Amino acid sequence: ALTIAIVGLPNVGKSTLFNALTKSTVLAANYPFATIEPNVGVVNLPDERLGVLAGIFGSERLLPAAVSFVDIAGIVKGASEGEGLGNKFLANIREADAIAQVVRGFSDPDVVHVDGTVNPASDMETINTELILADLQTLEKAIPRIEKEVKGKKAEPAALETALEAQKVLNDGKPLSSTTIDLAPIKELGLLTAKPFIYVFNVDEDVLGDATKRTELEALVAPAKAVLLDAKLESELIDLDAADAAELLASTGQDESGLDQLARIGFDTLGLQTYLTAGPKEARAWTIGKGWKAPQAAGVIHTDFERGFIKAEIISFQDLVDTGSVAEARAKGKARMEGKDYVMQDGDVVEFRFNV
Ligand code: GDP
């Protein structure tokens, strides 16, 4: 499964946020892998469509998609030089598919800031500089090796060209995600700043409903996405039942919890989408990549579905809601038979036909 690494300076609220994520993991039944790894937290992807499908099909239970987060201990200045437990942490980040950087915005004078003052922009710069330095180190080591491999015809010249171009970008102090360079030839290096990035601002409760402040922080990280949340509030919300949680959320001017926002934006940042299946047992969301074709999508349910794929009967979620049932959708010509070249769309309600 794809994972998002949670990084940030010490004392910014990573553990507090991660604790809320792990409590949420207990509720995310559709995810065996999380129970084995103590530093992995899983959040369900909020999806109101499942409840609607369950109403139409009389499904007994809902199985939403999920997003997993891996907790990486704090990065400090000098991490790329092996400061703290630097290199080990960086290796953990390397394995993740995206990075969520937690940035302190809350002002509590009782919580010491590692650099003395609460300053989101400067914190982000510290972390990003460490990641850039780590990538430069990776490239410095890799380039001589790639050179040899190209001479020995064991690597494509494109690999060397790309590595040198990437080095130039990083030397200018820019993350690789800010460029349009195609990094495919050096993908195996797992460069950190090439990964998709999300910023999580851990702010005071009164900032959550403050549109001006929100816009300011969002502008600071654009085009990357920002999630604003109060980690302490999130850990309280997770202990409440749905009605009480909704009430507490509303009192802070929000209609969606920070964890839900993080799940949604994280899922999207990973390049994922879902399709839906439903029956009397369950209404379920299945995770696939954007742009996947029908047989590959079928393979997520079972490899036999991919191997024996014949076709997929597809009704868009909206058409199903409008017609009220599969039978009605078929009668009105809203159920499409799609073949192996069909590109899946988010929210397709699907039934696969296959040979066993
Ligand atoms: P980490 O070092 O990044 O994992 O930070 P922690 O989660 O351990 O938080 C450091 C301290 O800040 C703890 O005392 C937390 O209780 C406190 N803290 C975390 N999040 C918030 C928050 O949103 N508001 C306030 N006031 N304190 C917080």
Full DSSP string of 88-141: HHHHHHHHSSEEEEEEE----TTS--TTSS--HHHHHHHHHHHHHHHHHHHHHH
Quote the ligand 1 centre to 112 CA distance (angstroms).
10
Q: Report the residue among 9, 11, 230, 252 best suited for mutation to probe ligand 1: largest number of ligand atoms under 8 A from its CB.
A: 11
Using DSSP bridges, classify how beta strands 197-202 and 66-71 pair: parallel, antiparallel or unpaired: unpaired
Counting runs of H as helices and runs of E as strands, what totals does the chain give?
A: 14, 12
- Nearest protein Cα to ligand 1, atom 15: 13
**Are both 114 and 224 inside the same structural domain?**
yes
Q: Report the residue among 12, 16, 230, 259 best suited for mutation to probe ligand 1: largest number of ligand atoms under 8 A from its CB.
A: 16
Quote the ligand 1 centre to 101 CA distance (angstroms).
15
Q: Domain total for the chain? A: 2
pLDDT score at 34: 46
Out of 207, 238, 272, a domain closes at 272
The average confidence (pLDDT) of the chain is: 89
The two three-digit tokens of residue 199, written as one number: 């910023």
- Separation of alpha carbons 338 and 192, rounded Å: 39
**Are both 259 and 298 inside the same structural domain?**
no
Q: Please, which pLDDT band fits residue 117 given cuts at 50, 70 and 90?
A: confident
**Are both 193 and 69 inside the same structural domain?**
yes
- Separation of alpha carbons 227 and 122, rounded Å: 18
Domain of 334, in residue numbers? 291-354
The two three-digit tokens of residue 70, written as one number: 């891996």
Position 105 in a domain: yes
Using DSSP bridges, classify how beta strands 98-104 and 197-202 pair: parallel, antiparallel or unpaired: parallel
| H-helix or E-strand spanning residue 227 | strand 225-229
The two three-digit tokens of residue 238, written as one number: 């997770």
* Model confidence pLDDT, tens digit, residues 142-199: 999 999 999 999 989 999 999 999 999 999 999 998 889 999 999 999 999 999 999 9
- Separation of alpha carbons 112 and 134, rounded Å: 27
* Model confidence pLDDT, tens digit, residues 324-355: 999 999 999 999 999 999 999 999 999 999 88
Quote the ligand 1 centre to 16 CA distance (angstroms).
6
Q: Is the interface score ipTM higher than 0.85?
A: yes
**Are both 221 and 329 inside the same structural domain?**
no
Question: Residue 260 above 50 pLDDT?
Answer: yes
Quote the ligand 1 centre to 66 CA distance (angstroms).
25
pLDDT score at 80: 63
Give the bridge partners for 288, in sequence order: 273
